[in-house]
Structure 1
Amino acid sequence: MVESIHFRTRVELWQEQTMRVSAIYIDGYRRFKEQNIKFENEVTVLAGANNSGKTSLIDLLRVVLGGEGSLHAEDFSASDRYQWFMALVEAAIKGEEEFSDFVEHKNLLEKAPSIDVRLEVTYDPVADDIRQFADYLMDLDSAKSSFYFQFRFSVRVDRLIAACNDLYTDIEKTIADCGWTSASEINPGSSEFLVLQAKIDASLVDCSRPEVFFADENYTNILPMGTHKNLKHLFNFRAVKASRALDDINEDKSGGLNQRLIEVVKEDENWLQLLSQFPDQVVSAIHGLKIREATTDEALKSLNTVIESISSTNGSKQHDLFLDFHVTEDHAVQMIARAMQTRYLGEGVPLGEASQGLGYSNLIYLHLEAESFIRSTAQEENCYLVNLLVLEEPESHMHPQMQNAFIKHLLSRVREVGGLQVAVTTHSSEIVKSSGIEQLRVLKSEDDGCRIVDLRDFHTAEVARKSTETQRLFNFLYAINFSDLLFADKVIMYEGDTERMYIQALIRELPELSGLRSQYISYVQVGGAYAHVYKPLIVDELRLKTVIITDLDYDKASTISSVEDLKLLHSTNTTLNAFFKKKDSEADPANAKALTIGNLMEKVASTPGLAFIPGTELAAVAFQSEPEGYARTLEEAILAVQLGTDVWSSRTQEDWKNYRKISELKFSIPREPESPTIRQIVLSTSNQKTDFMYSLLLNSELLKTVPPYILSALRWLDS
């Protein structure tokens, strides 16, 4: 009874603990340069395309928080390693004296690559028991409730100086062999470069060591914590890698699920009580069945006779062999795991583990890993630690519905049990869709490394403070469109379904657009009024190269007799007005001048034939102009380009019928007037836009004549 009361109190303590990793700062590790990742109290989803840094992040956490493995030369930033190599070689090219001055310089440590990881752990000063962390409290301000830790992998200056001096002979020889007279002559791909780089890398790692500190908020005052174990022991950390050993072939005898099931239940008190009785029960059964006697009689009787005969020949006395049985709880667990089989009941008969696909095996595996970790966090020694579980790419082998079910169950389970944090890395749109935008951190692979986009910060700045109506609009638009954006290389925004059909066909068919076929293009349907809503996320935050293909849009009922008449009309396109509308003055930015078609034409750059959105070179808008006969829709533009005329020029009914027959395009010809214009043809075909587009796409010759604004948009995106 006393034991059960103690367990209940411990569980309550565990569930009330709110100690969390709130932020991790990383600098100098692989592609991470001065990046800060904020973690949610419950589940954080780290989304990114392949090679964006997700696995690198987990590898680092395994070393720093899990104490697993060590750091190597490849873990230093590649750019830092290259700069270090070039600095050494450049100094050596100048001569031994210059090299010695470089090595002895007081700023040598600042030039050598290093890895810096900083952790902020927050706690509730009222509810949390911080006994394990109390020795590392640097700031005594009662208004603050965080601990700060630093992990550093850097060189020792005395060892680095000695190593550099030892390297000088090798560097000098390579310079002489290659004939380098300046650093600009060095070819990073040459065999000489690679051999010397390997030697410099090896010396760098040999001179480096891990160090851990606790610090104040600004990391200006730091004190050593002793060994790395002292930091590791503050965390109960587990990482489940993406390379999980799963199999769905009949020869699979691993019984992997059995092992996971044992892991889940082994901390349960009922299980422990039953397990403690197991060894005695087994030994009793062995004696009861006379297994010992039978084994001794059959197996050892003749062996002891042989031993006795041998011992008589050399004068030494040998003792008889006998069998005994020693069964421990570890033996019991091994026996149970080997004997137990995880089975599925299908069509009324039992089926083995291999009968289920990899998706189900992965789902069950991950569930058991999570449950095992959750139970471990309730152990008394873990109640006072930060409990962090990391799952790498749980979507492996799962179809979208299964991914959705898993992440929703995980979110619900973590919220239900409390006392732990979970981080999930993913490149699954389905998992992104099932997560709240505040939970998402996006890892963006860019030329200068990996950049972290914090969508909680974005949501707070761009959505949460807006009006209720604006928030509803943002949330709706992002819910239906934004998951693919997180993994995209580039973005095309378009108005309607026929535009997308046409754009995709052009990218597929035109040789000059082949570069776009190898990139991940996210297509975002925005109508004619909502493209500007996406700019803060897509262009400003994610920094994706984006083209918006929209319509010129002006009053179609207006009487137009010349281009000059057209230029005086006002644009009715909300997107164009939002991006390009003129302001009367900086003092009164809300008072905007009406945007005319003439104003818009002035925005179009002759090269590349697009209008760039003010304030960025990453986003441009494409719309119809003179080459498309001043059309106001895609269909008008296509006909205008195919016929080489403007949209208000008329043709006889007979001419239209002949053109329809020759071109095999599907469009309607109105009865009135006798000589309809392109605009009147398109208006008459407004309910058959999809049929018109299909007939166009099925004619490969017609696809060769493309409205210039569309082609300019796709060429620029591909550049």
Structure 2
Amino acid sequence: MHISSIKVKNFRAIKDAELKLDPNQKQDLTLIVGKNNSGKTSFIMVFDKFFKKEDNFNFHDFSTHLREKIYKIDSETIEEAIIGLFLEISYSKDDNLEYLSEFIIDLNSKNNTVKLYFECLIDEERLRNDLINIDKKYKKKFIEKNITSYLIKNLYIYEKDEDIENNKQKLIKKEVSAINSLINYQVIHAKRNLASSETKEKSSLPLSKLSTEYFNKENMFSEKDFIKINNAILEMDENLNNLYDTHFEGFFENVRDFLGSTALKVLSNLESRQIMSNSSKVVQIDSEENFLPESLNGLGNLNILYLLLQIDLKKRFFIQEDRSINLLFIEEPEAHTHPQMQYIFSKKIKKIIENIPNLQTFISTHSSHIVSQCNFEDIRYFHNHNGNVKIKNFYLELEEKYKLQTELFKFLKQYITLYSAELFFAEKVIFIEGVSEKILLPYFIKNFDEKNKGKQDYIPISSQNITYIEAGANSKAFQHLLNFFEVKSLILTDIDSVGGENRSACSVDKGIASSNATINHYLNYNENDPDWFNLLKKRGIKITDKNINLFYQTEENGYHARSFEDSFISVNYELIKKHKKDIFGLKNKYKINDNPENFYDLTDSIIKSKSEFASSLLFLALVNGDKEGDEKIEWKTPKYIYEALEWINQ
């Protein structure tokens, strides 16, 4: 028995989105990933609001598209202003249906699904009646502040989805509290208030507090396991009673003299809970005799320790309460932890939770390190497009897209695991061709930002959430992935002209085609079209993907370069010639003369090491000009790269 579908409507960032799980078997772990403000927290909080009795909905829990309508509730009926949570529970004949049976309404043996609908709606009539007495100019504020008092929570069982909208009388109403006999919901929120070395108050030591809670629950659930502790406390009581008799003897004599009472006595009444709460603390062992208090531990360590204690505490709740379905939500476990610890957490979490019966765990994260270590089948990707959240099954949807390109899909999975899990959280992506571009692109971006910083509302590229990928000719493998993420993507590549019968490398003016697999893939190379390459040179072929754009060398200053190095040398030739003695990665420097006949041939004959060449160019640009009298070296950005930066920044 397990939850196979979760659908949320009209709650905060989520207008209407469904998270689908395997209907045939329980998915033990689901990873909720996505960029900021993509609805991950909203997805978790809607469970809090329906499953926790003390958590009530408020005005700002309604999706933004409903709020203006709610303001007009005194003049309009707003039946659509309902927050909804839909759960589908799949079960088999082998399951223990003791707790589920009261929710089963379809006795057809072929149907093995129970559908539950939680709703939060406004008591419109009562609110309208009260609004009559509110001054018109205060109505909006009254609704915002007081709507919680007019909200009603309901739970229904239903068979058909269309009945929710059209035949609500067919729904079977249940008490909302009835769900607690079937589902045990627990959550560990991201806000954990961990104590740092600056924290002085004992109340700000959540790890010690949680250890106390853990002890008390253990004591409550398993008293026989605490006999030794409780016996020790009773023995302490007896010893303290004897000490108290001696210590307070003089005081009691005065009491007898004044009041004539002999019935006073001070008794020790120690309780394990009080001792644990007031007289115990969590420390880290630094050596055999040295201990670090909680407040002096690193926040990363504290966070992991806190999570482990919380999970173990939740585990005991799950086991003791013995529900058919256990739900555990963990929000952003990576808080305060360095990458290595995030790797460890992602590897260990399944082992930690695997012994909890009937458990389905949902973890939301912004950590690329956690994502890289998970099974891709477990990922559900949250995407907010123009205020509408979509929840995508990462593995199944991409597997379908790559069904005719299985090798590319295999490459993609391994590449993301090893290098680029940041793609899940990127606002934009830039693909670069090789090592030279990788070294110099940040310099070009810095210059671009500097040139455009005076423009109104300009956001520097260097401050944007951009993932950079060095994929070479393999950029084509990412096409379906980029469209899945719906992320703006720039591919910087080389035109790689070839000519002759053997299609060998040549200058662009002699070329008849491109050997670049990325260009040929995205721009639909047609070997039967003699004009294709001429159109390519003039950027006359448009890419069809709305999220992806391709930039390569175009004619500049009367010359059309074939590669990045070729292009860079052609636009910076005078400066390179002047400083050639300080530039590494070159050979045949004598060829750098006054009038090169062909930059393509020159580049081919002088480049010895692309990485050394690019590194020395960057070094000269960064260090020259600091001292008085030094010449400031500023390399020009090739036109195609500048135009690419203009596009990615739009």
Q: Give 1:231's aligned amino acid.
A: I
Q: Which residue number corresponds to residue 367 of structure 1?
A: 308
Question: Shift of the alpha carbon at 1:442?
Answer: 2.7
Letter in 1 for 2:192: R
Cα offset, 1:527, TM superposition: 0.2
CA contact (8 A) 1:513 1:715 kept: no
Which residue does the alignment assign to 2:462?
517
> Could you list the per-position Cα deviations for residues 561-590 of structure 1 after superposition, in whole angstroms to 9, with x for gaps in the alignment?
998754xx011111111112257xxxxxxx
Please state if 1:136 is matched with 2:140.
no
CA contact under 8 A between 1:571 and 1:595: conserved in structure 2?
Answer: no
Residues 692, 556 of structure 1: CA spacing in aligned structure 2 closer, same or farther, 3 A cutoff? farther
* Structure 1 residue 551 displacement after superposition: 0.8
Q: Shift of the alpha carbon at 1:37?
A: 2.0
Decide whether aligned partners of structure 1 residues 562 and 274 sit closer, same or farther in structure 2, where only a CA change above 3 A counts.
closer
Q: Identify which range, 145-154 or 552-561, moves more after superposition.
A: 552-561
Higher fraction of strand: 2
| Paired AA for residue 365 in structure 1 | Y
Which amino acid counterpart does residue 42 of structure 1 have in structure 2?
D
Alpha-carbon distance, 1:333 to partner: 2.7
Alignment of 1:153-552 (within 5 A): 153-163=120-130, 165-166=132-133, 170=136, 174=137, 197-202=140-145, 204-216=147-159, 218=161, 220=163, 223-249=171-197, 251=200, 253=202, 256-261=206-211, 263-264=213-214, 266-267=217-218, 271-275=222-226, 282-283=233-234, 285-287=236-238, 290-291=242-243, 293-294=245-246, 297-308=249-260, 320-323=263-266, 331-354=271-294, 355-379=296-320, 381-382=321-322, 384-463=323-402, 465-466=403-404, 469-510=407-448, 511-512=450-451, 514=453, 515=459, 516-528=461-473, 530-538=474-482, 540-552=483-495
Could you tell which deviates more after superposition, 244-253 or 116-125? 244-253
Give the deviation of 1:199 after TM superposition: 2.7
Moved more, 73-82 or 352-361: 352-361
Percent identity reads: 22
Coordinate RMSD, CA, aligned: 3.5
Matched to 2:587, the amino acid is S
Distance 1:301 1:147, change over 3 A: farther
Q: TM-score, normalised by structure 2?
A: 0.84
CA contact (8 A) 2:186 2:329 kept: yes
TM-score of the aligned structures, taking structure 1 as reference length: 0.76
Q: What code does the residue aligned with 2:554 have?
A: S
Q: Does 1:600 align with 2:529?
A: no
Give the direction of change, closer, same or farther, for the CA distance of 1:461–1:424 in structure 2 (3 Å limit). Answer: same
Give the Cα–Cα distance (whole angstroms) in 2 for the partners of residues 413 and 561 of structure 1: 59
CA distance in 2, matches of 1:561, 1:541: 37
Structure 2 CA distance for partners of 1:287 and 1:207, relative to 1, 3 Å: closer
* Gap regions ≥5 residues in structure 1: 1-18, 89-98, 175-194, 309-317, 584-590, 605-610, 644-654
Question: What CA distance in whole angstroms lies between the structure 2 residues aligned with 1:504 and 1:435?
Answer: 31
Q: How much does 1:263 deviate?
A: 4.8
**CA distance in 2 between partners of 1:37 and 1:681 (Å):** 57
Q: One-letter code of the match for 1:223? A: L
Distance 1:444 1:134 in 2: 36
Secondary structure, aligned partner of 2:588:
coil
Matched, 1:617 2:558: no
Structure 1 pair 298–421 and aligned structure 2 pair: CA distance change class (3 A): farther
Larger CA Rg, structure 1 vs 2: 1
Contact 1:343 1:350 survives alignment (8 Å): no
Conserved 8 A contact 1:275-1:332 = no
Give the aligned partner of residue 123 of structure 1: 91
| Residue type at the aligned position of 1:293 | D
Answer yes or no: is 1:699 the counterpart of 2:618. no
Q: Deviations over 1:342-385 (max 9, x none)?
A: 34332332303334322112111111111222232222x32x33
Q: 1:445 to 1:657 in 2, by over 3 A?
A: closer
Contact 1:212/1:226 (8 A) holds in 2: yes
Change (3 A) 1:437 1:303: same
Whether the aligned pair in 2 keeps the contact of 1:660 and 1:666 (CA below 8 Å) is no
Looking at structure 2, the residues matched to 619 and 44 of structure 1 have their Cα atoms a distance apart, in angstroms, of 29
Q: Which amino acid letter does the alignment assign opposite residue 516 of structure 2?
A: N
Tell me if structure 2 keeps the 8 A contact 1:66–1:238.
no
- Cα deviations across residues 490-539 of structure 1 (Å, max 9, x unaligned)? 111111121122221111222245521221111111202x212112111x
Paired residue type of 2:112? S
Distance 2:223 2:592 in 1: 91
Gap regions ≥5 residues in structure 2: 165-169, 454-458, 623-631
Q: Give the one of 679, 682, 689 matched to 2:603.
A: 682
- Using a 3 Å threshold, how does the CA distance of structure 1 residues 268 and 146 change in structure 2: closer, same or farther? farther
Matched, 1:627 2:565: no
More off after superposition, 26-35 vs 686-695: 686-695
CA separation of 1:416 and 1:270: change in aligned 2, threshold 3 A: closer
Contact 1:150 1:214 in 2 (8 A): yes
Which secondary structure state, in structure 2, belongs to the residue aligned with residue 79 of structure 1?
helix
The corresponding residue for 2:643 is: 712
Q: What SS does structure 1 have at the residue aligned with 2:306?
A: helix
- The CA deviation string for residues 177-232 of structure 1, in whole angstroms up to 9 with x for no partner, is xxxxxxxxxxxxxxxxxx65323434644432111112225262653444322224
Alpha-carbon displacement from aligned partner over 1:530-563 (angstroms, at most 9, x marks no partner): 212112111x211111111111112277799998
Q: Is the 8 A contact 2:318 2:356 kept in 1?
A: no
SS state at 1:51 partner = coil
Q: Distance in 2 between matches of 1:272 and 1:705?
A: 76
The aligned runs of 1:70-109 (5 Å cut-off) are 70-85=56-71, 102-103=75-76, 108-109=77-78
C-alpha contact (below 8 Å) 2:212/2:277 kept by paired residues:
yes
The separation in 2 between residues aligned to 1:270 and 1:545, in whole angstroms, is 54
Residue 669 of structure 1 is aligned with which of 563, 572, 588?
588
Quote the Cα distance in structure 1 between the aligned partners of 2:609 and 2:463. 33
CA pair 340-564 structure 1, distance change in 2 beyond 3 A = closer
The number of equivalent residue pairs is 614
